[in-house]
Amino acid sequence: MTESARTGEPAIRALRQELAQASDPQVMRIVATVDALMARGAADDLIAPLRQRLVELRPPRPLRFARLLFHPLDPLIVPAPKWRPDHLTIPRTAVTPIAAHVLRSMAQAGAAIDAGGSGHTDAETDLIARLGQSLWPAAALILAEPDVPDSWSVTELGDTAYRQLAGTISALLAQAPALDAMCAATANGLLPPRAEAIGEILGRIRAANSNALPMMITLLLTRLPQAAAVLAALQTGLDAPAVQAASDQATDLLLQRLEVAGGVETRIATGSLADSAGAVKDIAALLGSLEKANAPSSRRAQLHAVRDRLDTGCRQRFASELQDDLLLPLGRLASLPDAAQMSALETVARGLRVLESEARKIGGGVTYDLLLGKAAAAIESPAVQERLSVADQARLVEILAGSDAALALLGPGSR
Amino acid sequence: MTETAIPLIENHQPATFRTRGIAAPFTTPLLAGARIRESSRTGIELVVPNPSGGRGVYIVHWPGVGALCKPTVHDTMLFRRCSALRDIDTASIRAAALDVALEGHAGRDAAAAAETSIAADRSQRLLSHFLLLMGVVEQVDPDGIKATSLLERTPDRDRRASAAVHLVAKEIGRPASYLAGGLAAMGDAFSPIGVAADDQAARIPRLILRLRETSAAMASWLSDGPNDEIAGLGRLVTAAMQSAGDTGAALLQATRLPFADPVGLLKSWCSARTEVIARSGRCDALLDGWERVALLWLAAATDATRRAALFEMIPVIPVLPREAMDWDGIAIPAAAMDPVCRVTSHDNTWRNGSASFGLVERNETLRAMSL
């Protein structure tokens, strides 16, 4: 924390208070501005209280070198106070010094990659994959060296922790391009992950650093929950005991993350509705794979509790989004919406259906039917009829309640 | 889905364009690649590719579609409008689809695009009619001033045009009004082709350009990108699209040849009107269904979505009926009569449930991108 922030000057305090009350778009704009600063210092401290809001808003962040380097390992990064040497995670405080060390060691090649990400964001997955192809294997070689960089001292974690972390990070980054390629080969989930590809990645990880094996399985299950079935099949080969043990550790870690306060709720409540639906799908797939593995009763109880929280989180997100982002804006329309307004309303309606389609697999079917029915009725109400054309009404009703309801709205002869 | 309720036609190798049907821009994910054709029993029916990607098609009338999927309002309206058509051909299905989009059933962007397309079609028809008429004038009076644009239309030109048509009418032995009607009808029929020799603004030349640009973009992506089985599929699709573009360009050139002799074209109209109209529709028939294939690629913005797009492109790649081999003046590659390849899937989860909403939205975007 900077001196000015620590001394708590009244002006700074007032500004912090204002920031805390800023609207979501204002927060996004402020953070984007601070992110763009080369020397962030005090500005970084000022936005520190907004970090939780950022988690919920998930704005695209600038593709800085450190973010690019650790992109494939992001699911393993935890706040420093929550990290322990025997945990299968990476403390956030390790990110900056390790990235600085890699950047310095790569010299011109690192600078070229850094420049390649400049002006871009972490939403650009193709660019990340392309730059990562060069960066991750090179970083893996650098981090395999035993020398502790000077920059490490700021972490106050000690040399042993560096060697342990650098070793596992090195092993994981070496396989990051292969993991990326395997995920890409599923073509957005159209194809199942190839068992041979998974076996090869895990085999190489095990040969390089067996401590990294559960971490790689954690990454694998986070990105491709459907890989759980393949992992189960792999547990019959020569490496069976090692893969079995690592899989157990990985699933424990993933389950622990879901079990902590807000572990499920944050993932459902943050990002777009599509992000939320994706999280529901992934969590449900993970829970499904854990349930099938002849789990003991204690594990089943854990899974049941997580599933209940998932159900509750979905209903809450659905209900609040329906009210705040669809029905309220509809009610506030003063005249026929323009193309952008109508597109925004349709996006929300579609997002609600995507979330509902995934969420009702967990439960709450009656609730969703009821809420969707009410929303469709609200759109057909005389108050909304004055603000929407029949075609626009029919579009929203079709998305929310299906084509039969929309055809009924369009009148006789439409069905 | 009740597959038992609708028999799958295992060996659907259409002999004629009529039995193949006309590609319709449905937005329901499971109706991707479906075609509309005339039916002696029900007026019109759908030819729906096997949703598994495997061999065969379903032949269904509208109530039967409900056994395969839940159609969107857009598709219901489109089918209803097509049911009222007197002739099922590419022009009439296109006009019906534009009208349905204009009503807003595929969203605001598609409605705006439809409005633009309808206006462009109208201008192109006027231009084609004008150029055919001016072609007759120039042939009759080679020393007169040439006109290439509607802006050059003047009362004096109209008088000269009328005189020229009367002169040709006398020579052929037909009423001038009959020839004027023929020029208007041919102007309409040939407008998608573009009557001017170098017309790149008409719909068919633009579609050919789109196919060539898309196949070039795919080839470039494949050369820098994946090195797996998806790359193999990509190369097959790219080759098929290149071939369609090349064959389309050759056919376009052949179709435009008679425009060099407008009086001869008028004589053909008098002696073989059906044949002339049939020739005007060959390019559309040859390329029918290809725009969707290209748009699937163009709508994909990331490597992951491009890979997914390839799986969607394969089952909707048009297969030409054997009738195309009988066309004179153009060599149709034999490979165009067979499916490029088959990719089968064991379930439809990728286009059902939560995934269907995004796909309908994407399909509406394709409507907005359509020429």
Rounded mean pLDDT, A119-137: 93
Report the pLDDT value the prediction gives residue B156, as an integer from 0 to 100: 80
pLDDT above 80 (res A137):
yes
Which of the listed ranges A159-163, A360-364, B214-218 does the model predict with the highest average pLDDT?
B214-218
Enter the DSSP assignment of B7. Answer: -
Nearest to A199 by CA among A236, A244, A231, A247: A231
Cα distances from A410 to residues A286, A397, B109, B357, in angstroms, run 42, 10, 20, 21
Q: Which tops the pLDDT comparison, B218 or A412? A: B218
Q: Identify the band that residue A39 occupies on the pLDDT scale cut at 50, 70 and 90.
A: low
Please state the rounded mean pLDDT for residues B293-299: 98
Which stretch of DSSP H or E encloses residue B163?
Answer: helix B155-172
Confidence (pLDDT) at B148: 67
Choose among A343, A346, A354: nearest Cβ to B354: A354
CA of A357, closest CA in chain B: separation in Å? 5
Q: By the CB < 8 Å criterion, does B304 face chain A? A: yes
Q: How confident is the model at residue A173 (pLDDT cuts 50, 70, 90)?
A: very high
- A190 Cβ under 8 Å from any chain B Cβ: yes
Single out the residue of B42, B7, B19 nearest to residue B322, CA to CA: B19
Tell me the residue ranges of DSSP E strands in A159-280. none
- Read off the pLDDT of residues B181-210 as tens digits, 9 standing for 90 and up: 999 999 999 999 999 888 999 999 999 999
Q: What is the ipTM of this complex?
A: 0.89
Q: What is the pLDDT of residues B21-47, one digit of tens each?
A: 999 999 999 999 999 999 988 789 999
Of these ranges, A47-61, A222-236, B289-303, the one predicted with the greatest mean pLDDT is: B289-303
Q: Cβ neighbours of residue A80 under 8 Å, at least 6 residues apart?
A: A91, A92, A93, A155
Specify the pLDDT at position A3: 45
State the CB neighbour count (10 A cutoff) for residue B33: 24
**Is the CB of A394 inside 8 Å of chain B's CB atoms?**
yes
Strands B8-9 and B22-23: unpaired
Chain B residue with Cα closest to A342 = B108
Do the Cβ atoms of B73 and A407 come within 8 Å? yes
Mutate to test the interface with A, among B70, B103, B108 (most CBs of A within 10 A): B108
Average pLDDT, chain B: 91
Contacts of B30 in chain A (CB under 8 A): none
Residues within 8 A of A (CB atoms), B 58-97 only: 70-73, 76-77
The residue of chain A nearest to residue B81, with distances taken between CA atoms, is A414
Edge-to-edge strands, sheet with B43-49: B8-9, B57-60, B43-49, B35-39, B22-23
Q: What pLDDT score does B42 carry? A: 78
Nearest to B337 by CA among B207, B253, B206, B243: B243
If you measure CA to CA, which chain B residue comes closest to A181?
B226
pLDDT at B197: 81
Q: Does A36 score more than 80 pLDDT? A: no
B354·A190 Cβ contact <8 A = no
Cβ contact, residue pair A342, B361, below 8 Å = no
User: What value does the mean pLDDT take over residues A343-358?
Assistant: 96
pLDDT at A44: 65
Strand-strand pairing, A90-91 and A77-78: parallel
User: Are A190 and B303 a contacting pair at CB < 8 A?
Assistant: no
Query: Each residue of A62-74: pLDDT tens digit?
Result: 899 999 999 999 9
Least confident of A20-24, A316-320, A387-391: A20-24
Q: Across the interface, which of A343, A403, A414 has its CB nearest the CB of B72?
A: A403
Using the Cβ of B302 and the Cβ atoms of chain A, whether some distance falls under 8 Å is answered with yes
Distance from the A128 Cα atom to the nearest Cα atom in chain B, whole angstroms: 11
A357 in contact with B at a CB cutoff of 8 Å?
yes
- Between A and B, how many residue pairs show a Cβ–Cβ distance under 8 A? 85
Residues of A within 8 A of B304 (CB-CB) are: 125, 184, 187-188
| Closest chain A residue to B69, measured at CA | A403
> In angstroms, how far apart are the furthest CA atoms of chain B?
70
Both structure tokens of A90: 């990476």
> Which residues of chain B are within 8 Å of residue A274 when distances are taken between CB atoms?
358
Contact across the interface for B73 and A406, Cβ inside 8 Å: yes
- Sequence-ordered list of residues with C-beta below 8 angstroms from that of A169, at least 6 positions apart, any chain: A73, A90, A98, A140, A143
Q: In this complex, do B302 and A391 lie within 8 Å of one another by their Cβ atoms?
A: no
Phi/psi of residue B60, each to 5°?
-130, 145
Question: Which of A232-246, A399-413, B23-37, B335-349 is predicted with the least confidence, judged by mean pLDDT?
Answer: A232-246
Average pLDDT in the A398-412 region? Answer: 93
- What is the least distance, in Å, from the CA of A29 to any CA of chain B? 25
Do A407 and B305 make contact, defined as CB atoms within 8 angstroms? Answer: no
Q: Whose structure tokens read 């899989």? A: A247
Average pLDDT on A351-371 reads: 95
Could you tell me the pLDDT band of residue A40, with boundaries at 50, 70 and 90? low
How many CA within 13 A on the CB side of residue B9? 13
**Structure confidence at residue A236 (pLDDT):** 62
Residue in A187, A389, A410 nearest the CB of B304: A187
Residues of A in contact with B103 (CB under 8 A): 391
One-letter amino acid identity for A65? Answer: F
Please state, as a whole number, how many other Cβ atoms lie within 10 Å of the Cβ of residue A302.
Answer: 19
Kindly tell me the burial class for residue A18, based on how many C-beta atoms sit within 10 Å of its own C-beta (0-12, 13-18, 19 or more): exposed
What is the spatial distance between Cα A191 and Cα A186, in angstroms, rounded to a whole number? 4
Measured between CB atoms, which of B104, B226, B350 is closest to A391? Answer: B104
- Out of A22-36, A267-281, B98-112, B317-331, least confident range: A22-36
Residues of A in contact with B354 (CB under 8 A): 277, 281, 353-355, 357-358
Interface with B, mutate which of A353, A372, A395, A407 (most B CBs under 10 A): A395
pLDDT of residue A6: 47
Number of other CB atoms surrounding residue B79 within 10 Å: 22
Select from A184, A189, A414 the Cβ nearest to the Cβ of B303: A184
Q: B42-85: per-residue pLDDT in tens?
A: 789 999 998 888 888 999 999 889 888 999 999 999 999 999 99
Whole-number pLDDT of residue B278: 93
Find the residue in A nearest to B350 (Cα): A190
Computed over every residue of chain A, the mean pLDDT equals: 86
Contact present, A414 and A403 (Cβ < 8 Å): no
**A52 has a pLDDT exceeding 70:** no
Residues of B in contact with A399 (CB under 8 A): 357
Find, among B73, B195, B72, the residue nearest to B128 by Cα. B195
B345 interfacial to chain A (CB closer than 8 Å): yes
**Could you say which residues from 372 to 391 on chain A have a Cβ atom under 8 Å away from some Cβ of chain B?**
389, 391
Across A366-379, b (16+ Cβ under 10 Å) vs e yields: ebbeebbeebbebb
pLDDT at B144 over 80: no
